[in-house]
Structure 1
Amino acid sequence: MVTKRRATHQTNQSSQSKLNFRPNTETPGWETKGKKPLPEPSSVKQVLLMMVLHVCRKTLFIDTSVKVAIYGASLFVISLLADVLPFPKTYLSRSDNILNQYFVKIGWFWTLFVTVPFLVMTSHTYCCGKRDKIMHHLARLLIATFTWFFWIKLFSYIESVCGHCNVKKYQTKETCLKGGYFWYGFDLSGHAFILIYSCLILIEEARAINGWEGIRDLIRNEEHARNIGDDSVSNNPLRGLSLEEFYILKESYDKFTPYIRFFFIAMTFLSILWDIMLLSTILYYHKMVEKFVSGAIAILMWFITYRYWYAIPRTLPNLPGEGVFKYKDVKQTKEVPQKRRNTTSVSGAKGQLPTFMGMPLYGLKTQEPKEQKDEDLDNETDIQAPMNK
């Protein structure tokens, strides 16, 4: 009976050994110690969102010099043609159309409505919650608001002083219009000014989103380095942050990023709307000189502030994206495990993560050739064999 039981026990062991034909291919803990953590896989929703953001970037971030040249040429050439050869009337030629009544006439409100939340959330993140630095960034919009208010009032004053009524007994613009008559003056186009100035402001303030998606990698790698006490990594821009600053950055980034993306998309659509309404203004309203002068003033104000004043080092206010650490134009190298450095990824490049529209697709893992997998299994079997003996 004892012999029979021993035979049965040996048979069960041999059966179990045959069932466990697949060797353990898990990487030992000591082999992964100190390596950077892998990013989370990208879902279909995230990929579609990245596609939308990519299209918005391509639409909004046209070379500003080219866009300014297009504005200047349109204000001169198309406006001159519209003065000589009036274009056919359309719905946009009516001053009571919906876009003109509810958007253009309160255009600066809509510009601030999408820009202020975007600026506050982005600056709160890359300034790590420091209120003085956030206020420095908000100062740009205060200056822009003062610029808009000053020039609009000046345009109205010039029209009142340099004009006359078609009935001589009325000497002021207010009394002339109240009497039901017409006031003829040098009517600088406030619409052309506000539409061009708003578009340029939207482009400049939206630049804070450049490199925004890469902050996630910076946070993940820095958090891992701090958890394991690795002081050898010095190329991460977040290395100089204190523990409190790093915690505020991580919390703000996770909290605000969905809203920042939404407002960036809204800024893109608003910029498109302003360009459409600018074309309507060029075709149907004001004279060429009135539109060209007001547009030139808008471009000049943008150039003085964003291209000269804010670009001076150590001068307030700063340009968008300048905070307590650098994240724009920071290129992170994706480390590949030693075992897979000679493998080919889905994108065809060796040792690299596949990308789509410039964004890494973390959900797609690198593929190993069949020969490499077999070689790895053989090596692990050779290592386990002496241990089993």
Structure 2
Amino acid sequence: MSTRRKPDPAFNGAVPLTSTMPGSTIRPPLSSARRSPFLPTRLEALLLAIYPSTLLLGSIFSTLSPASRSAPYSAVSQSHPPEFAPSYFAQKRNVFNVYFVKVGWFWTSLAFAVFLVFHPGFGAGVSKRRVNAVLRYVAVTSYWVFVTQWFFGPPLIDTMFRFTGGQCEKLRDPEQRDDMSDTREFITAATCKAVGGTWKGGHDISGHVFLLILGSSLLWLEFLPALTRVEGLRDGRLITLNDGKTASVAVEKERIKMEDDATARGVKFALGVAGLMWWMLLMTAAYFHTWFEKFTGLAVAFTGLWLVYFMPRGVPQVRALLGMPGV
């Protein structure tokens, strides 16, 4: 007479995770699950799909709008001249562009700090969840610096511009236009503008699109677990365990119940910043840059997000350092 094998507790309900992922449960993935741990969940995919949809919507609007089509467009400045701008938001000097977008990482950092300090899901004091969140922020911020500010010399955006044939063309003194060899020493957009030149000739990845998508997605992916309440959407983030097996990780229901006031503590301000970033992304899509410049800005932003928020799910060693939002 054969004996019935006792079911593995890991496959008969939730099993607490180790101390590296406190306050969470780990379950076997559903038999219907076929996606990779490196890919987003349904809810995350829907959220990320907002960004290409926004760029597409803004670009279609700029193509169909009579005001935009009739206004001249400067490929050098990637915008409409101020005197012909079809909208207040089409002017580079509009208040939201000057005091919000151009200092967008300050607002991203402030919103993240408010969420980090006041949200109850991080626990008290210097908890592991809070340390992991700070490390994720440092990783994304470093990526932003490398792309837009400095990468052992010029930032990656300026390096790509020069790699595709761009250079600094000095316009302050017309006699210097013919002497392009002397102006190539200005290897960043900032130094070129400082000497009265124009950054011209190469492919310019949209820095606005990159910043607005990277910053708002950082906020969304951090506080998304605090906003989700639907079981089918909350669960389902797949991870690779140390033994190579795939499992599903989720926030414990007890913690979800404990955080019912999450939207009132730390999340509202971050939601406001992320919402305004989305609006300015739509305005950027409608009035600034070419289709390809906006697409590359999107692609570069998504690359950074994948490296920090999705790649660690399939690499246990990286996940031990960066953790995962909400667990």
Report the alpha carbon displacement of residue 135 of structure 1 after superposing the two structures with TM: 1.6
Report the TM-score when normalising by structure 1. 0.49
Q: How many corresponding residue pairs?
A: 222
Partner of 2:285 in structure 1? 282
Equivalent runs, 1:238-253 vs 2, <5 Å: none
Give the 3-state SS of the residue equivalent to 2:323 in structure 1.
coil
Q: Distance in 2 between matches of 1:177 and 1:143?
A: 29
Question: Separation in 1 of the partners of 2:290 and 2:281?
Answer: 14
- What is the alpha-carbon distance in structure 2 between the residues aligned to residue 96 and residue 156 of structure 1? 23
> How many Å separate the matches in 1 of 2:92 and 2:115?
31
C-alpha distance in 2 between matches for 1:299 and 1:151: 13
SS at match of 1:271: helix
Q: CA–CA distance in 1 between the matches of 2:104 and 2:311?
A: 25
Q: Conserved in 2, the CA contact under 8 Å of 1:119 and 1:205? A: no
Q: 1:154 to 1:135 in 2, by over 3 A?
A: same
Residues 209/84 of structure 1: CA separation in 2 closer, same or farther (3 Å cut): closer
Aligned 8 A contact 1:83 1:287 in 2: no
Compare the two structures and name the one with the higher helix fraction: 1
1:151 is the counterpart of 2:167: no
Kept after mapping to 1: 8 A contact 2:214/2:302: yes
Q: What is the alpha-carbon distance in structure 2 between the residues aligned to residue 236 and residue 64 of structure 1?
A: 20
Q: Flag the structure with higher strand content.
A: 2
Distance in 1 (alpha carbons) for counterparts of 2:314 and 2:123: 18
Structure 1 alignment gaps of length 5 or more: 1-61, 213-234, 239-252, 323-389
- Give the aligned partner of residue 319 of structure 1: 324
- 2:59 is the counterpart of 1:79: yes
Alpha-carbon offset, residue 294 of structure 1? 1.3
Change (3 A) 1:70 1:175: closer
Whether 2:120 is the aligned partner of 1:118: answer no
1:183 is matched with: 199
Note closer, same or farther for the CA distance 1:319–1:311 as it changes in structure 2 (3 Å cut). Answer: farther
**Structure 1 residue ranges (4+ consecutive) displaced by more than 3 angstroms after TM superposition:** 73-88, 120-123, 125-133, 173-181, 235-238, 256-260, 310-314
1:257-276 to structure 2, matched below 5 A, reads 261-276=264-279
- Once the two structures are superposed, what CA deviation does each residue of 1:175-203 show, in whole Å capped at 9, x if it has no partner? 75455443313211110001011121111
Relative to structure 1, is the Cα distance of residues 178 and 298 closer, same or farther in structure 2, using a 3 angstrom cutoff? Answer: closer
Q: 1:302 aligns with which of 305, 320, 323?
A: 305
Decide whether the 8 Å contact of 1:310 with 1:317 is kept in 2: no
Pairwise CA RMSD: 3.5
SS in 2 for 1:263: coil
Between the aligned residues of both structures, percent identity stands at 27
- Counterpart residue identity of residue 136, structure 2: R
> What letter matches 1:320 in structure 2?
P
2:91 to 67, 70, 94: 94
- State how far apart, in whole Å, the 2-side matches of 1:275 and 1:211 are: 20
Provide the rounded CA distance (Å) in 2 between the counterparts of 1:265 and 1:75.
Answer: 25
Q: Which amino acid aligns with 1:183?
A: W
Q: Distance in 1 between matches of 2:137 and 2:57?
A: 32
CA shift, 1:128, in A, is 4.4
Normalised TM-score (structure 2): 0.57
Indicate how the Cα distance of structure 1 residues 262 and 101 shifts in structure 2: closer, same or farther if over 3 A, else same: farther
